[in-house]
Amino acid sequence: MDLLRFATAGSVDDGKSTLIGRLLLDSKAIFEDQLEAVERTSMAKGYDYTDLALLTDGLRSEREQGITIDVAYRYFATPTRKFIIADTPGHVQYTRNMVTGASTADLGLVLVDARQGLTEQSRRHAVILSLLRVPHLVLAVNKMDLVDFSEDVFNSIQNEFTSFATKLTIPDLTIVPISALQGDNVVKRSEHMPWYAGPSLIHHLEHVHVASDRDLVDARFPVQYVVRPKSDEFHDYRGYAGRIAGGVLKPGDDVLVLPSGFTSTIAGIDHFHTEIEEAFPPMSVTIRLADDLDVSRGDMICRPQNAPEPSQDIDAMVCWMTNAPLRPRQKLAIKHTTRTGRVLVKDVQYRLDVNTLHRDLETKELGLNEIGRVQLRTTIPLLCDPYEKNRTTGSFILVDEATGVTVGAGMIN
Amino acid sequence: MSNTAAPPAHADYRLSQLDELEAESIHIFREVAAEFEKPVLMFSGGKDSICMMRLAEKAFYPAKIPFPVLQVDTGFDFPEVLSCRDSWVSRLGVRLIVASVDQAIADGVVVDDGKTSRNRLQTGTLLNAIEKEGFTAAFGGGRRDEEKARAKERVYSHRDEFGQWDPKNQRPELWSLYNGRIRAGEHMRIFPLSNWTELDVWYYIGQEKIELPEIYFSHTREVFVRDGMLLSAGDHLLLRPGETVQERTVRFRTVGDMTLTGCVESNASDVAAIIDEIAIARVTERGATRGDDRFSEAAMEDRKREGYF
């Protein structure tokens, strides 16, 4: 059994909560007491139906306001896969939540209401998933029962979305007609849509091929922590602990350590009591080198012929996440892999309209929930790859030094 | 290293869900140890905190876990849990700090008005211990599948100088780039098991053959029914009129204060049987057995805001 992380986007009106409720109910991830609590609340509010949205609206303020204000993580499993859903709100002001949910997702699920067709919101969701390089996208055309399961309606939404998607980076697109309320094509193939030859939503989620999504060629190992037991038994042990960010590393491999430029050979790769023969993403391991080098947190172990280019001038797409705008000349802290430093904002090149993909070159700042292309100068060289090649070595966060709050998320071009 | 067991087969370079969760948790432990001055692991003796111990052990092996372990002693802890705690602590050679609720009451740190549950008194005791020792990061075994306020909590969960959680003002958490910045007096709660479910924890306990307190497995015990829950009978609880003690075959699904933690009737005597039982269970572990979560739909959120685990 493996793990698939997916992000959902859409609003209550699209039936997103109903769909998630159905996935959780049908996979028995919701328990009686949780369902009872939701039924009680629905009754107290005077609804004549069980509002499944209440299952995911976890904070009191959200229940009071009837809107989801934050990313909620939900879990369910089928016999073949465990799923982690990052459930993000759909409103325009919550771009930052969608970016957050998409950052770790293998797959993005966008919902549209078959009666409405594509909306500005569904386009925006697809744009964000594409910017975050989520490799698989599923467009679920919901409420098919309300359009008499019409093939024409589905085809027209499918054509419109496919043509829009050509402007984006979406390596794998699947479009499924469903009725979350009645369960059509959610778990079982629908009898109401014989014209649809594709898989049910769950079948697709269970079988979508994600093994090729990671970069298994370009070895990248950001050193996280140096393990030095200094005990009698392991007197000379010196291991570099971290998580493989790319490629496959094996004992005997020649390696290059950045930024020092020293070379060595991998003497062994440890995982607890076991010596392992191959380490690949996203494994957490401890690497021992044949030579006694000065390697510390923030360094990067890679291969001599295949190394990231150290750079202090960073060109990136940045999603801004706080009220006070991002402006040129601003100074911020940055965290990239296991490296931390400071940055100076050199320029805001353009602001991207995530609804139309229009580039606004006039505005030289980014407000809350806005995304734009930004030039940064860093105090330390970043050992980075383009985000499109590696989502781990190509991403960073920006932190306000006064408050300590995370204010920006960046994807290196 | 001595042991060279065959590595797991990874034909397509995919990890199993347990291996991926383990890798994520180990990454979190190492990140905290690297970036925080004084971390501590909050150990309740329950299965989640024991899982955390194993993950921390793996993260730093062959070195020792580079931070101490903190336990809040409610005065009503199950003896089986304390002996399991002692066995883990001595095997790993970590420092154990016990913050006692009774001591906190005696010192006037928290006030026992006779109505407040011991569980709530733990919060004050815990915050006092964190402040006194100057801990800047405290690992907790909370999981997002436990309860819906937790479903929105970050892996790095910021606490202000009063130890409070502000759910509306959480820092965005992207990729695996955790932001550990705090100001003086603040601290961070760290939840390495955020993405684990109850079943994942049990599968992992089975896979790793992890030692747990015996009360998790089926045994006979003197119990009585209160508010629909089966509570353990003994000196710690006075029977109310109409309550009678019976012997039943039970096990505990969570471990907490004896006055609040209910058990369930069960014949599951090993991990495999427990997994079968959970797979068909229809009530969450907290709903079934924790009196402290029952007060209101927002009970957990309220306690978390105050600085509970």
pLDDT means per 10 residues in chain A (413 residues)?
90 76 77 73 74 62 59 87 87 80 95 92 90 96 96 97 92 95 88 95 94 90 96 92 97 97 97 95 97 96 95 97 96 97 98 90 93 97 96 97 95 97
pLDDT of A63: 54
Q: How many CA atoms lie within 13 A of B83 on its CB side?
A: 6
Judging contacts by C-beta atoms under 8 Å, the chain A residues touching residue B145 are 74-75
Is residue B187 located within the same domain as residue B235?
no
Residue B149: which of A34, A58, A69 has the nearest Cβ? A58
Q: Please state, for a pLDDT cut of 70, what percent of chain B lies above it.
A: 86
Residues carrying CATH 2.40.30.10, chain A: 220-302, 309-412
Q: Would B188 be classed as within a structural domain?
A: yes
Amino acid at B90: S
Contact flag B62-A229 (C-beta cutoff 8 Å): yes
Fold category of A220-302 in CATH: Elongation Factor Tu (Ef-tu); domain 3 (2.40.30)
Domain match, B84 and B220 both: no
**How is domain A2-207 classified at the CATH fold level?**
Rossmann fold (3.40.50)
Nearest to B94 by CA among B155, B152, B52: B52
CB A155 within 8 A of CB A120: no
Q: pLDDT tens digits, residue range B272-309?
A: 999 888 877 655 665 556 555 544 455 556 656 666 65
Whether B182 and B252 map to the same domain: the answer is no
Q: Is beta strand A262-271 parallel, antiparallel or unpaired with respect to A274-275?
A: antiparallel
Q: Return the CATH number at B131.
A: 3.40.50.620
Chain A CB contacts of B179 below 8 Å: 335, 397, 399, 404-406
DSSP E strand stretches across chain B: 39-42, 69-73, 96-100, 137-139, 156-159, 187-190, 219-226, 229-232, 246-251, 262-265
Same domain, yes or no: B158 and B107: yes
Same domain, B185 and B73: yes
Residue A55: per-residue pLDDT: 67
B196 and B53 fall within a common domain: yes
- For the question of an ipTM over 0.85, the answer is yes
User: ω before A282 within 30° of 0 (cis)?
Assistant: yes
Query: What are the chain B neighbours of A132 within 8 Å (beta carbons)?
Result: none
Task: Express each pLDDT in B131-173 by its tens digit.
Answer: 899 999 999 999 998 877 788 889 999 998 888 888 777 899 9
pLDDT for position B4: 37
Domain that holds residue B182: 17-200+300-306
Identify whether residues B215 and B193 lie together within a single domain: no
CA distance A290 to chain B (A): 14
Top-tier CATH class for A309-412: mainly beta
Please tell me the predicted confidence (pLDDT) of residue B2: 39
B179 pLDDT above the threshold of 90: yes
- Whether B242 and B274 map to the same domain: the answer is yes
In a domain, B81, yes or no: yes
Please state which of the ranges A279-293, A393-407, B17-31, B243-257 shows the lowest mean pLDDT.
B243-257
B37 and B180 in a single domain? The answer is yes
Q: Which of A56, A208, A286, A384 to mutate to probe the B interface, most B CBs <10 Å?
A: A286
CA trace torsion A200, A204, A206, A212 (10° rounding) = 170
All CATH 3.40.50.300 domain ranges in chain A, comma separated: 2-207
Partner residues linked to B69 by β-bridges: B41, B96
8 Å CB contact between A113 and A15:
yes
What is the predicted pLDDT for the residue at B10?
59
Instruction: With CB atoms and an 8 Å threshold, state whether A268 touches B168.
Output: no
Amino acid identity for residue A328 in this structure = P
Shortest CA distance to A313 belongs to which of A374, A393, A399, A397? A374
Residues B223 and B196 in one domain: no
Read off φ and ψ for residue B91, nearest 5 degrees.
-65, -40
Domain total in chain B: 2
Among A40, A17, A29, A383, residue whose Cα is nearest residue A219 = A383
Domain contains B7: no
Contact status, residue A220 vs residue A390, Cβ threshold 8 Å: yes
Q: How many CB atoms lie within 10 A of CB B270?
A: 10
For A256, the enclosing helix (H) or strand (E) is strand A254-258
Is it the case that residue B242 has pLDDT exceeding 80? yes
B78 has a pLDDT exceeding 60:
yes
Rounded Cα–Cα distance for residues A165 and A127 (Å): 9
Residues A64, A51: Cα–Cα separation, whole Å: 14
Question: What is the residue whose two structure tokens read 């209401």?
Answer: A113
